[in-house]
A and B are shown apart, each in its own frame.
Chain A
Amino acid sequence: MLSILRTIWYVFLHSFQKRITVQYPEQKPYLAPRYRGRIILSRDPDGGERCVACNLCAVACPVGCIALQATEDKNGRRYPEFFRINFSRCIFCGYCEEACPTYAIQLTPDFEIGEFHRKNLVYEKEDLLINGPGKHPGYNFWQIAGVKIGGKDKGEAAHEAAPVDVHTLLP
């Protein structure tokens, strides 16, 4: 019984304490680079589109707000024909970024993307693609993968031996 009264009293004493609210937007808080805000698609160090349309982000997304379709250029490099994120559904959990094997999809510290119309929150690839590698400057998936694309033949990726000559009779 007394403890209840004491609680009430202690809470009452908070009337005289400093408020901790940050007065956004007049005051801007610091957001770390790993903050999970607006999503972007980054590019390889050589400027090519990083996303290989593997669909892993889409399947990892708990709300299913990523849709894409894979296609290939004539040299066998796979990329998304369209890539759509419905930010009106996104919960900014970052699972997509975690699932991405190429560092293509990244969340950024920008969260000021409110809109009056939900349809304006649907971002297509043009809206998502940025001109740099984002948080992972050095990585280039295609230099590690084994498939041949324009400008990279079999055996030219990292840690690859020259292609086997299958017609040789030597062991």
Chain B
Amino acid sequence: MATVYVDNKACEMNPEENLLHGCLSHGFKLPYFCWHPALGSVGACRQCAVKQFKDDKDSQGKIVMSCMTPAAEGTRISIADPEVVAFRAGIIEGLMLNHPHDCPVCDEGGECHLQDMTVMTGHDYRRYEFEKRTFRNQDLGPLVNHEMNRCIQCYRCVRYYRDYAGGRDLNAFASRDQVFFGRSEDGVLENEFSGNLVEICPTGVFTDKTLKHHYARKWDQQFAPSVCVHCALGCNTDAGERYGSLRRIVNRYNHEINGYFLCDRGRFGYEFVNSEARLRQSVLKDRPTSAAAARQYLDQTVANGRVIGIGSPRASLESNFALRTLVGPDHFYSGIADHEAKLVGLMLEILRRGPMRTPTLRDIEESDVVLILGEDLTNVAPRMALSVRQSVRQQPMEAVKKLKVPLWLDHGVRDAMQDARGPLYIATPYRTRLDEVATATFRAAPDDLARFGFAIAHALDSSAPISHETSQDWLMAAAIARALKAAKKPLVISGTSCASEAVIQAAANVAMAANTALSFTAPECNTIGAALMGGNSLSAAFQAVKDGEADTVIILENDLYRRAPQAEVDSMLKAATHVIALDHLPNPTTEKAELLLPAGTFAESDGTFISSEGRVQRFLQVSAPQNEVMASWRWLKPDHWQSLDDVLRAMAKALPELDAACDAAPSSKFRIAGAKIPRSPLRESGRTAALVNINISEPKTPDDPDSALSFSMEGTPDQPPAALIPFFWSPNWNSIQAVNTYQKEVGGPLRGGDAGVRLFEPAPRNGQAYFSAIPRAFSPRQGAWLLVPMYHIFGSDELSLAAPGIRELATKPHVAVNSDEFAEGAEVEVNCAAGTFRLPVMIHREMPVGVAALSVGLSPLVGIQWPTWGKIARAK
């Protein structure tokens, strides 16, 4: 720690960082624009000026940019010096010369960093009377809005988009005071992380277009801490609501996971919650009915029938557990597709056994050598792809360190680094977005990927098994092995998306042999949780109904047609006398239900998910329930469970492995100085007007028995624990940049620790055996194709597909092959065990011959048991 004197006050600052970072960490109100903790300094905006003095005798001093000056021992600076105060005010005035008179109609208003900084510097009156320059806006697609007049040329957007997220289609154009930030022509932003521009841009140039359609100011939204439901990574989010509808998702900083960024599916997928099609009322035999009647029918049916329950990997632990309790553990069936359950079971076994550690996304960012075995991360676990993108900077960074360039000095680092990239190896059946930063890629059928992995493991540790058939690819395997061996923080990533146990086992072997971290992706937000909950397999459920062992099926938040072939599901649903389903949106399964209960989404219920990292995390209800929609566990719970705490306690008792769920967030009894944590910002407006059109007597604020949050602005002004932060705000910091004031040190962990409890900590290494079931090399079959799944960030996720913005961008279902037989775009018929599908074909020259990849999860490509063999023929 270095001692820096700020206005003669001695402050301990991190000498590896710059003065701006240090000052903000100490809570000084120092305005800035172009610096960002994740992007480093470029000194472009000149807003963070401070005066630096040589020693305590120096009264002259010189103005420096705090973001460009190291926090070296003994530095003396002044923030309050009148000259530098005037300098900063001048900078703002300059930035504001061309700024439009837009605040009232600007979506950034009320959470605008530019507004905050303008107020902070005291610039309150426009003296400039001449013409303002203007720009035309671009249509950047359904997710991000563009209003270029408001730009202050801080360059954060392009630095984030190009340098950090690896996008190419956003750039700075023109020169001098006319610099324009946009695309070369109108069009959808290509990068999957474009939504972060909304938070990165300190002004209203880039704003959330989905929010624009139902705009509410930040101060008017009621927020709750949430966990993204659109993939298994468990990114932390805050969900904002107004007048009973969900308005948007913003990033909730979690140092260990998402940091400052979310993917577009996570940020914009929320709109399914507001869908017109939402089930908001119980339906009994196709007739709407009251909650009480529905519940009575449920009880009666359960009491009289032979009941089984089918859980869901997209429902919370609590909901799954409530169902398990209702039907009894023996009659509880996991809702995971059979082939997936096997894969996930294997992954869990590996993680439990150790010694590999499952890394957090932050660990992934810091890894210096990464091997990806069988995963298209951008489309399966998008946020992880962004982390992997940062990992390739780790090795070159070592060289930069040797040159003594401070790591926060962004331009310096990039100049020193040039195009150098650290080792990243990607082995998948088809090309991926990350290939562009990969050192080498390897394309093969799943079995060959596995063999490749086994070969790497063997190269690392000769006691690891290897097949006797050799292959020329093994040269490359040896190179990867060398890189992994030399690495300081190596990492292997694999998962379920090749639908191959061998790939997972191979990845485990590599990780064990090279002593690396091992990260597995999982298909859905609570796949890991559902797998830990256990239960019989899905096909056993079908069998039970077929055999007449059960006549009543309760299906929890699960469209079975996505899990099993249509014919099987059809016959099972037909055989059952009573089908009871709980879900958010209508789907083919709910259509067949006799009793349909409206289940709360993440926004309308409380619950716990377990991420693919093995992190147990709580999400909380955003607004008080306004209709019959409620958490599934509330529908299913026995009467004596009053609140979430009761469910958690019962669950910890029944399933000790899940008792960490109790610690995922403080209980509902938690108080800060006797007060709950307010869901609404202090300035929420319209409390005595919002509902008076319905009833002139304003209702009492509803209680929340399930969490330590209140449904109003009343409560503690203090910082809540990370798992309970509904929104980031502190005096003077209305924008998302307020997160600085919630961190121990800017850019570091949140004060009091980050959210979530990790379930798997590495077991010590004590002779865990290698997997040795090496598959035979893949050989294409005559007249048949090996079908493998191909995921799409926009499209493969069931829920986000109901969000209009995401639906618009969703990939059209297709089949990808490497073949001369078909022309690109031609219609083909794919015939496999799950049925016959008519699809356009895409020619992927990089793919192994004899393998075809099918878009997953997009109707009609659901319910397929991967991998499978099929025929592809030109459509007649």
A and B directly contacting (CB within 8 A) = yes
Residues in A lying within 8 Å of B, measured CB to CB: 52-56, 58-59, 61, 63-72, 78, 84-86, 88-89, 101-102, 117-119, 122, 124, 141, 144-148, 154-155, 157, 159-168, 171
Partner of B693, one of A88, A117, A122, A157: A122
**A6 to B105, alpha carbons, bound, how many Å?**
64
- Tell me whether A160 and B131 are in contact in the complex, defined as CB-CB below 8 angstroms, given that A78-B105, A118-B696 are known contacts: yes
Chain A residues contacting B136 (CB-CB under 8 Å) are 154, 163
- Asked whether, in the complex, the Cβ of B134 is within 8 Å of the Cβ of A141, the reply is no
- Evaluate contact between B688 and A86: CB separation under 8 angstroms: yes
Q: Mark B200-234, 1 if CB is under 8 A from A, else 0.
A: 00000000000010111101100000000000000
List residues of chain B with CB under 8 Å of any chain A CB: 100-105, 109-110, 129-137, 147, 149-150, 173-176, 178, 180, 182, 212, 214-217, 219-220, 243, 683-690, 692-693, 696
Evaluate contact between B134 and A163: CB separation under 8 angstroms: yes
Do A154 and B149 touch (CB < 8 A)? yes
- Known A-B contacts A56-B104, A171-B175; A146 and B134 likewise in contact (beta carbons under 8 Å): yes
B217-A102 in contact (CB<8A): no
- Asked if A147 and B135 sit within 8 Å, CB to CB, the answer is no
Inter-subunit contact A67/B685 (CB<8 Å): yes
Given known pairs A64-B685, A84-B692, A171-B175, the reply for A55 and B217 (CB within 8 Å) is yes
The smallest C-beta distance from A127 to any residue of chain B, in angstroms, reads: 12
The answer on a CB contact under 8 Å between A55 and B102 is no
Chain B positions within 8 Å of A119 at CB level: 692, 696
Can you spell out 20 A-B residue pairs with CB atoms less than 8 angstroms apart? A54-B109, A55-B685, A64-B688, A64-B689, A65-B686, A65-B689, A66-B689, A69-B243, A86-B692, A101-B103, A122-B693, A122-B696, A141-B104, A146-B134, A154-B136, A159-B129, A160-B134, A161-B134, A164-B135, A166-B173
Determine which of A52, A58, A146, A159 lies in contact with B685 in the assembled complex, contact meaning CB atoms within 8 Å. Answer: A58
Inter-chain contacts of A72 with B (CB < 8 A): 212
Asked whether B101 lies within 8 Å of A144 as measured between CB atoms, the reply is yes
Q: Are A89 and B688 in contact (CB under 8 A)?
A: yes
Which one of B131, B215, B220, B690 contacts A159 once the chains associate, using CB atoms below 8 Å? Answer: B131
The 6 lowest CB-CB distance pairs between A and B, nearest first, are: A146-B100, A67-B686, A54-B104, A58-B685, A67-B689, A64-B687
A124 and B685 form a contact (CB under 8 A): no
Of B150, B219, B688, chain A has the most CB atoms within 10 Å of the CB of: B688
Q: Which single member of B175, B687, B693 contacts A84 (CB below 8 Å)?
A: B693
Q: Which of B137, B212, B215, B220 contacts A58 (CB 8 A)?
A: B220
How far does the Cβ of A136 sit from chain B's closest Cβ, in whole Å? 15
> Which secondary structure dominates where chain A touches chain B?
loop
A146–chain B nearest beta-carbon distance, Å: 3
Give the chain B neighbours of A124 by CB distance below 8 A.
693
- From A55, A85, A168, B689 is in contact (CB under 8 Å) with A85
- Residues from chain B with a CB closer than 8 A to the CB of A88 are 692, 696
**With contacts A69-B243, A164-B174, A171-B176 known, is A59 near B135, CB below 8 A?**
no
Q: Decide: B220 and A55 in contact? CB cutoff 8 A.
A: yes
Q: Once bound together, how far apart are the Cα atoms of A119 and B692, in whole Å? A: 8
- For A55, A88, A171, the residue with the greatest tally of chain B CB atoms inside 10 Å of its CB is A55
CB-defined contacts of A85 to chain B, threshold 8 Å: 689
Query: CB-CB < 8 A to A61: which residues of B?
Result: 685-686
- A167 partner residues in chain B, CB cutoff 8 A: 173-174
A64 touches B686 (CB 8 A): yes
Tell me whether B105 and A52 are in contact (CB under 8 A): yes
Q: How far is the CB of B713 from chain A (nearest CB, A)?
A: 10
Asked if B100 contacts A147 (CB within 8 A), the reply is yes
Which partner residue on chain A sits nearest B100 by CB separation? Answer: A146
Q: How far is the CA of A54 from the CA of B217 in the complex (A)?
A: 8
B689 nearest in chain A by CB position: A67
Distance A117 CA – B133 CA, assembled complex (angstroms): 54
Contact pick for A145, options B101, B130, B131, B212, CB 8 Å: B101
User: Which residues of chain A are within 8 angstroms of B110 by Cβ–Cβ distance?
Assistant: 55, 59
Residues of B within 8 A of A147 (CB): 100, 102, 105, 147, 149
Residues of B within 8 A of A64 (CB): 684-689
Query: Which of B104, B131, B684 lies at the interface centre, i.e. has the most chain A CB atoms within 10 A of its CB?
Result: B104
In the complex, the answer to whether B178 meets A166 with C-beta atoms within 8 Å is yes
What is the CA–CA distance of A171 and B174 in the complex, to the nearest angstrom? 8
Closest to A101 in B: B104
| A84–B129 CB distance below 8 A | no
Task: Please name all residues of chain A whose beta carbon is closer than 8 Å to the beta carbon of B217 when the two chains form the complex.
Answer: 55, 59
Is A155's CB under 8 angstroms from B134's CB? yes
B186, chain A: closest CB distance, angstroms: 12
User: Is B687 a contact of A168 with CB atoms below 8 Å?
Assistant: no
Report chain A residues within 8 Å CB of B690: 67, 84
Distance in Å: Cβ of B163 to nearest Cβ of chain A: 21
Q: How far is the CA of A102 from the CA of B688 in the complex (A)?
A: 24
Chain B residue with the shortest CB-CB distance to A68? B686
Q: Which of B104, B105, B180, B243 contacts A166 (CB 8 A)?
A: B180
For B175, list chain A residues within 8 Å (CB).
Answer: 171
Q: Give the complex CA separation of A171 and B179 in angstroms.
A: 10
Distance in angstroms between the alpha carbons of A64 and B688 in the assembled complex: 5
